[in-house]
């Protein structure tokens, strides 16, 4: 099936590797915890998965997935929810265990490229940054009242930005003049706050925007619990794959999977080191270059 050329562009990453390691030819029920536009789910269905439950916080992405996965009929169920609610979502459907599970933790190219979503410093738009636009505070809401020291901590912790204190001070000073409402204004404030020293490989606003996005969406909150929940909801022999796009996420996934393998004996690691996209994929899709895939197998019947 060809992609709808009129649909927003998004290239799912590491698709052959995900399909190979999740082994959907076994059949059974698979959960795509971040279904997005359905690219991974479609590949899993084509390779033999009997059924997919697809979860996403983004209602617009779900609408695209619903259209793209419509040919698979009742083999697909799509749910508007946070993937961290996995145990409750499965319980509500009378499902105790699944055969495979995928979580692609990255922000889609479509979200990044859509000015209205407010994720990007490259185009001007409302300062939103929410994955789920139906609820929660926007980035503008949070920046309106946050204390300078707390903001500096957010930018340093989530963005690993060494000029976090300068940036936080500049943001707080700027909001005294007028509320921060657009990505363009925020990006310029950050750029002016970061000292320029010759060639800069990335835009000075990159790390701050990453930090604010993580903060707005609570991307690291409960991630370790989710990994444990996912492992414990696999059938013996079931497989789970998690794709992370920044070092903080990957560190949580790595350490939690290793603990599950070493301390609890719940899983066996199928990837001792994370799998990264090859040169062909990064050339075709430069945004894939930071992706790291880790896969684990449910061991025995211990819980």
- pLDDT band per the 50, 70, 90 thresholds, residue 61: very high
For the record, the structure tokens of 243 come out as 């794709």
Output the pLDDT for position 3. Answer: 42
Cα(215)–Cα(233) distance, rounded to whole angstroms?
Answer: 28
pLDDT over 60 (residue 1)? no
- pLDDT tens digits, residue range 91-130? 999 999 999 999 999 787 778 888 889 999 988 999 999 9
Cα(84)–Cα(224) distance, rounded to whole angstroms?
Answer: 10
- pLDDT tens digits, residue range 211-224? 999 999 999 999 99
Cα(265)–Cα(253) distance, rounded to whole angstroms?
Answer: 16
Output the pLDDT for position 218. Answer: 94
Alpha carbon dihedral 215, 85, 252, 295, in 10-degree steps, equals -130
Q: Between vectors from CA 267 to CA 264 and to CA 273, what angle results, nearest 5°?
A: 115
* Distances, alpha carbon 228 to alpha carbons 31, 206, 218, in Å: 15, 31, 18
Domains of the chain: 15-105+220-298 (3.40.50.150), 122-216 (1.10.150.170)
pLDDT over 50 (residue 302)? no
Q: Average pLDDT, stretch 124-144?
A: 95
- pLDDT band per the 50, 70, 90 thresholds, residue 196: confident
Q: Average pLDDT, stretch 238-253?
A: 96
pLDDT over 70 (residue 289)? yes
Output the pLDDT for position 4. Answer: 42
pLDDT over 70 (residue 157)? yes
Question: Do residues 58 and 132 make contact, with C-beta atoms less than 8 angstroms apart?
Answer: yes
Cα(146)–Cα(141) distance, rounded to whole angstroms?
Answer: 9
Nearest by Cα to 215 from 292, 129, 291:
129
DSSP string, 232-300: HTEEEEEEEEEEE-SHHHHHHHHHHHHHIIIII--EEES-SS-B---HHHHHH-GGGGG-EEEEEEE-T
Report the predicted TM-score, pTM, of the whole model to 2 decimal places.
0.91
Output the pLDDT for position 198. Answer: 66
Pairing of strands 267-269, 51-56: unpaired
Output the pLDDT for position 303. Answer: 38
Q: What percent of the chain has pLDDT above 90?
A: 85
Q: Between vectors from CA 234 to CA 233 and to CA 235, what angle results, nearest 5°?
A: 120
């Amino acid at each position: 099936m060809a992609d709808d050329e009129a649909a927003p562009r998004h290239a799912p990453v590491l698709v052959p590797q995900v399909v190979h390691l999740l082994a959907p030819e076994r059949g059974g029920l698979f959960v795509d915890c971040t279904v997005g536009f359905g690219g991974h789910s479609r590949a899993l269905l084509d390779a033999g998965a009997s059924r997919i439950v697809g979860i996403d916080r983004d209602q617009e992405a779900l609408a695209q997935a619903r259209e793209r996965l419509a040919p698979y009929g009742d083999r697909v169920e799509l749910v508007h929810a946070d993937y961290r609610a996995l145990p409750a979502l499965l319980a509500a459907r009378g499902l105790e265990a699944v055969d495979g599970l995928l979580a692609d933790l990255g922000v889609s190219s479509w979200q990044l490229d859509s000015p209205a979503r407010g994720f990007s410093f490259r185009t001007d738009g409302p300062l939103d940054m929410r994955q789920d636009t139906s609820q929660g505070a926007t980035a503008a809401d949070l920046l309106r009242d946050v204390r300078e020291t707390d903001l500096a901590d957010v930018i340093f912790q989530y963005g690993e930005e060494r000029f976090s204190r300068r940036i936080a001070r500049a943001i707080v000073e700027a909001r005294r003049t007028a509320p921060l409402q657009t990505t363009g204004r925020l990006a310029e404030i950050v750029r002016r706050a970061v000292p320029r020293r010759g060639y800069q490989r990335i835009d000075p606003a990159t790390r701050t925007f990453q930090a604010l996005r993580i903060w707005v969406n609570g991307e690291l909150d409960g991630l370790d619990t989710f990994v444990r929940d996912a492992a414990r909801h696999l059938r013996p022999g079931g497989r789970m794959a998690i794709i992370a796009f920044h070092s903080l996420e990957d560190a949580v996934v790595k350490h939690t999977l290793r603990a599950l393998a070493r301390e609890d004996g719940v899983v066996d690691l199928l990837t001792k080191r994370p799998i990264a996209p090859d040169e062909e994929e990064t050339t075709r899709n430069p945004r894939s270059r930071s992706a790291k895939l880790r896969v684990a197998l449910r061991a025995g019947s211990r819980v």
